């Protein structure tokens, strides 16, 4: 399972031809929210989470989850629209019972997500930009990454450039999320807000906050999450990123640290 991740990561570093349209590269990575921009017609974006570590602990147990090869492929099908395919290639989870000391290991792949993003204003993300993005997840994965059943939802990402350096963004999300037991779906809604600052045309930083209300039959929860991320674009078609998210309450994961690379073709 590690070979595809290495191959796709290598592809992102290959040279490419110039585009037919001069549109700034706008990857989905990094961060919690979703951008409103879309790929230009005929262009691909391959975005790879090279490494991701998530920590979740309470009074009884600690779980460390590692994800390798969290891939997203985007393709512009029109001036204001793109299609997406996402898949997490492999995940490892280690759970330690604090009372008995017992350790459980799990290895599996993620579900496949299919999405359509339709931009309604400024598909390059400039000025005020807004889009709608329905999606569906297919239950092809296994624990610890697979949900166990199909899910669906829709996102409404928006962004606004305050100046040459500062911009604001928000993402509203409504989901038919998979139940915790892997059978059936329930209602979940999330709101993410953030601010970004571009130090120059290559380096930018973002700060975000998310609140998620999850009405799982196994237990309703309201999760609060904060995030910081950095993105560096050494070329117009290449970006490297690093970020961290921290849970602000007991229901959210305690910590997540990740890094990745994005490449336009």
Averaged over successive runs of 10 residues, the pLDDT of the chain (265 residues) comes to: 43 43 89 97 97 95 96 98 97 95 95 98 96 98 94 98 95 97 96 97 97 94 97 97 97 97 97
| pLDDT tens digits along 189-205 | 999 999 999 999 999 99
Phi, psi of 150, deg, nearest 5: -75, 150
| pLDDT tens digits along 144-170 | 999 999 999 999 999 999 998 999 999
Walk me through the domains of the chain, giving residue ranges and CATH numbers. 2-264 (2.40.160.40)
CB 176 within 8 A of CB 154: no
Q: What's CA 105's distance to the chain center, in Å?
A: 25
Task: Decide: residue 100, CB within 10 A, 0-12 exposed, 13-18 middle, 19+ buried.
Answer: exposed
3-state helix, strand, coil in the chain (%, to 5): 5, 60, 35
First-residue to last-residue Cα distance in the chain: 24
pTM of model > 0.95:
no
């Amino acid at each position: 399972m590690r070979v595809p991740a290495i191959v796709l990561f290598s592809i992102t570093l290959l040279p490419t031809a110039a585009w037919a349209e001069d549109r700034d590269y706008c990857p989905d990575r990094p961060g919690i929210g979703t951008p409103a921009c879309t790929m230009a017609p005929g262009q691909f974006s391959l975005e790879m989470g090279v490494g991701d570590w998530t920590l979740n602990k309470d009074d009884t147990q600690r779980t460390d989850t590692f994800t390798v090869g969290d891939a997203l492929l985007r393709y512009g099908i029109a001036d204001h629209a793109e299609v997406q395919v996402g898949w997490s290639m492999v995940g490892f989870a280690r759970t330690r019972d604090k009372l008995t000391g017992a350790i459980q290991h799990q290895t599996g792949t993620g579900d496949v997500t299919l999405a359509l993003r339709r931009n309604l204003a400024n598909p390059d993300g400039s000025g005020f930009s807004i889009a709608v993005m329905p999606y569906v997840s297919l239950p092809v994965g296994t624990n610890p990454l697979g949900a166990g059943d199909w899910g669906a939802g829709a996102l409404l990402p928006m962004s606004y450039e305050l100046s040459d350096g500062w911009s604001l963004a928000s993402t509203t999300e409504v989901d038919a999320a998979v139940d915790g037991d892997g059978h059936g779906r329930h209602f979940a809604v999330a709101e993410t807000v953030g601010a970004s600052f571009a130090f120059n045309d290559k380096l930018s930083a973002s700060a975000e906050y998310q609140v998620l209300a999850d009405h799982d039959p196994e237990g309703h929860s309201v999760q609060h999450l904060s995030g910081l991320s950095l993105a560096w674009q050494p070329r117009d078609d290449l970006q490297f990123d690093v970020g961290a998210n921290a849970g602000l309450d007991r229901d959210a994961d305690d910590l997540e640290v990740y890094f990745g690379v994005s490449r336009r073709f």
